[in-house]
Amino acid sequence: MREQGLKLFTGNANPKLAKEICEYIKIPLGQATVKRFPDGETFVRIDENIRGQDVFILQSTCMPANDHIMELLIMIDAARRASASRITAVLPFYGYARQDRKDQPRVPITAKLVANLLVAAGANRVLAMDLHAQQIQGFFDIPVDHLYALPVFSNYLSKLRDETDLVVYSPDVGGMKMASAYANILKCPLGFVAKKRTSATEVEASNLVGDVEDKDILLVDDMTETAGTLTAAAKLLKENGARSVRAAVSHGVLNDIGYDRLQTGIIDELITTNTTPVESRGLPITVLSVAEILGKAIMHIHSNESVTGLFEIKGF
């Protein structure tokens, strides 16, 4: 019986990351045609034999989220109909994750709907990184391997900790668990900013809890889009005597509003990853690669090994 091979394919969301992963695990990127018809419909064709193969399809569901989700669903269906042995959807960034509960009357739980669609399309398992809400893992009726970006930040943050008087801050109360994990590993004090959201793009920061005066602040969050939460927190921190404010954000899904806010210089440095494509635009944005940790996870899944060891932090 022929040994089950490993194949990695990608849609159009983040092909650069897919190529980096393939270089790390020393396999060629799978050949597939993913394009649009003139009317906007998505066309997918797997351009090589994958019968009986262990197929991984990488796609961050970032902007434009709906197009990238449809690409992923159609690629999964194409792989299933081409008789792939197992199909793993690799989502470095899981879009719609913020719609994870009914917080108003008559609204959907879209994060659950996307999970249902992935399973219906034919995915056998999911590999994701820093989901906005932990409970999203439970939305799937298939195995979910959930990675954390903290090991990717470890070397960079260890140097920052040694060179500055660092305090880890959560930009809102909801991010305290994540910030606490960073503070514990960095062995730094912890604080948080109380905020009030006034609209989808505007945030008002009001109170601080923790050391600020003459401190170097590291804001920690899972994602930023308009940078409203981060810049409001940074402004309040600097008004209260913070020497510098940096932000470590797993997913930098920045739009034009976010870039405009970073132009103000309130945030001294944004540290993020390439789970989604990030442009620096001449701003102090540091992008760290998740290719190695995702590559290791893919190899572990392919060989049916545990991915728990990938959470070990070096340099602390």
Residue 35: active-site member: no
Name residues whose C-beta falls within 8 Å of residue 73's C-beta, 6 or more positions apart in sequence. Answer: 117, 118, 121
Which of 195, 215, 235, 296 is an active site residue?
195
Decide the pairing of beta strands 190-197 and 203-209: antiparallel
Name residues whose C-beta falls within 8 Å of residue 18's C-beta, 6 or more positions apart in sequence. Answer: 8, 9, 10, 29, 58
**Strands lying side by side in the sheet with 86-91:** 6-10, 54-58, 86-91, 125-129, 144-147
**Cβ neighbourhood burial of 38 (10 Å; 0-12, 13-18, 19+):** exposed
Better-scored residue on pLDDT, 232 or 287? 287
Alpha carbons 266 and 262: distance in angstroms, whole number: 7
**Section 130-148 average pLDDT:** 94
pLDDT in tens, 233-276: 999 999 999 999 999 999 999 999 999 999 999 999 999 999 99
Residue 2 has pLDDT above 80, yes or no: no
Name residues whose C-beta falls within 8 Å of residue 168's C-beta, 6 or more positions apart in sequence. Answer: 179, 182, 183, 186, 188, 189, 190, 191, 218, 220
Domains of the chain are: 6-148+292-311 (3.40.50.2020), 150-289 (3.40.50.2020)
What are residue 203's DSSP bridge partners? 197
Alpha carbons 29 and 18: distance in angstroms, whole number: 7
DSSP 20: H
Q: Are 8 and 22 in contact (CB under 8 A)?
A: yes
Name residues whose C-beta falls within 8 Å of residue 256's C-beta, 6 or more positions apart in sequence. Answer: none
Amino acid at 146: H
Residue 122 has pLDDT above 90, yes or no: yes
Length of the chain: 316
Per cent of the chain over pLDDT 90 is 83
Per-residue pLDDT band for 200 (boundaries 50, 70, 90) equals low
DSSP 3: P
Report residue 251 as tokens: 């997913």
Report residue 158 as tokens: 């260890």
Give the angle 315-252-145 at the CA atoms, nearest 5°: 65
Per cent of the chain over pLDDT 70 is 94
Per-residue confidence (pLDDT) for residue 314, from 0 to 100? 52
Cis peptide before 15 (omega within 30 of 0): no
Among 190-194, 231-235, 311-315, name the one with the lowest average pLDDT.
Answer: 311-315
How many Cα neighbours within 13 Å face the side chain of 17?
Answer: 28
